[in-house]
């Protein structure tokens, strides 16, 4: 999935991001504003994980969203 789609439709994806990473607050999501690098940083900071792990989780999220959209 192209991350530009997420950024352009951030209000739609906010809920899905919140469902995936429940510790992220609405304030975090406001700061992220669909920016992938910001999301990665907030995941690292909030969950105490490495950059590589955060990137892996985001990639998994992207693949699931891509699979979901292909099914419709």
- Tell me the pLDDT band of 52, cut-offs 50, 70 and 90: very high
User: CB count, 10 Å around CB of 70?
Assistant: 7
Angle between helix 51-71 and helix 36-47 axes, rounded to 10 deg: 120
Distance from C-alpha of 5 to C-alpha of 52, rounded to nearest angstrom: 23
Distance from C-alpha of 71 to C-alpha of 54, rounded to nearest angstrom: 26
> Quick one: pLDDT at residue 65?
81
Domain 3-71 has CATH 1.20.120.1730: no
Q: What is the pTM of this model?
A: 0.87
């Amino acid at each position: 999935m192209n991350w530009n789609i997420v950024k352009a439709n951030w209000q739609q994806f906010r809920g899905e991001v919140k469902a995936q990473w429940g510790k992220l607050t609405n304030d975090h999501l406001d700061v992220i504003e669909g920016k992938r690098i910001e999301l990665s940083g907030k995941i690292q900071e909030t969950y105490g994980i490495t950059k590589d792990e955060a990137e892996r989780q985001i990639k998994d999220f992207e693949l699931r969203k891509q699979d979901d959209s292909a099914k419709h």
